[in-house]
Amino acid sequence: MRAFVFDKYKGPLQETDVSEPAVGEHDVLVRVQAAGLNQLDEKIRTGEFKQILPYKLPLILGHDLAGTVVRVGAKVQGFEPGDEVYARPRDGRIGTFAERIAVDEADLALKPASISLEQAGSLPLVALTAWQALVERGKVQPGQKVLIHAGAGGVGTIAIQLAKHLGAHVATTASAANADFVRELGADTVIDYRSQDFEELLDGYDLVLDSLGGQNLEKSLRVLRPGGKAIGISGPPDPAFAREAGLNPVLRLAITALSATIRRQAKKLGVTYEFLLMRASGDQLRQITALVEKGALRPVVGKTFSFDQTAQALDALAHGKVRGKAVITNP
């Protein structure tokens, strides 16, 4: 079976021949016809997340898929061969840059009927990230004010739509070239990050979804109202994440130190900071499917690549800006 792997951190992604996936009794074997590319893929390849996601190398990359069920394990009840499905396979079982993958049935959902496989392949990771940040952690209510950074990116395009569906006033940062685009997605306030300082223009926000980290995250704390919350998906990881991930005591101590400065700044301002590394969930994907089918969420595919171009596609993601998501197709 053809797949794209890397065998050392910062090494190139290369096509190779690998063994067929083993299919457990609760697994579903899927022919991958579309696979979204994510910044998480590049962070794993470069070793940025190797402490919190300690994969054994060589590793097949890829966190998003849409495709067709080939066969199912003995105890699978919700899927059958021929079903069109989509998923973000759980950590430890990624590998969608391949012709086939075995996915735990709990991570899988039927593809929304109203969209293409390419569109479905773009959705799982970013839609689950937005859902877990805004619905699960943020508990966004109608009338609240939400700031979503990088609104034209993969997570941003979905998070804007979801926040608007939840009834929030939505601000976002984007380039001037993407201002009309993010307004069409539902943004009420658009900050041109190249010429404007969002910290000077925004105040009293209930929630910030930050995908950039560093100074951007520090400034985000200062636009929150007292009691507001910043959720970071680029890091730094926080002690709560370390506990939930079951990391060893040494790593937990290191992670506590990594996030000490931002947590101290948040406490001083009377706000909170949380790190989010989204998790796989077929149940949440089914709720996302319902929003897609009713027109509340629409996937944004900015560019597609053929399966043969997977390595070039990841390189393009790392070095250039794609509006929405880039997707690999293998029809």
**Taking a C-beta distance cutoff of 8 angstroms, is the pair 94, 148 a contact?**
no
> Which of the four pLDDT bands, split at 50, 70 and 90, describes residue 321?
low
Q: Give the pLDDT of residue 247.
A: 82
Range 13-37 average pLDDT? 97
Tell me phi and psi for residue 195, to 5 degrees.
Answer: -120, -5
Domain spanning 126-275, CATH architecture:
3-Layer(aba) Sandwich (3.40)
Average pLDDT, rounded, for the chain: 96
Indicate the pTM of the whole model.
Answer: 0.97
d(CA 207, CA 212): 15
Domain map (residue ranges) of the chain: 2-123+299-329, 126-275
Among 172, 163, 158, which residue's Cα sits nearest to residue 134? Answer: 163
Q: How far apart are CA 143 and CA 129, in angstroms?
A: 22
Domains 2-123+299-329 and 126-275 share a fold: no
Query: pLDDT-derived band of residue 258, with 50, 70 and 90 as boundaries?
Result: confident
Query: pLDDT of 233-252, one tens digit each?
Result: 998 999 999 888 888 888 88
Q: pLDDT digits over 7-17, tens only?
A: 999 999 999 99
In CATH, the number for domain 2-123+299-329 is 3.90.180.10
Identify which of 214, 179, 220 has the alpha carbon closest to the alpha carbon of residue 199.
Answer: 220
Distances from the Cα of 307 to the Cα of 9, 33, 121, angstroms: 22, 9, 13
Instruction: For 259-311, write each residue's pLDDT tens digit.
Output: 999 999 999 999 999 999 999 999 999 999 999 999 999 999 999 999 999 99
Residue 87 predicted with pLDDT over 80: yes
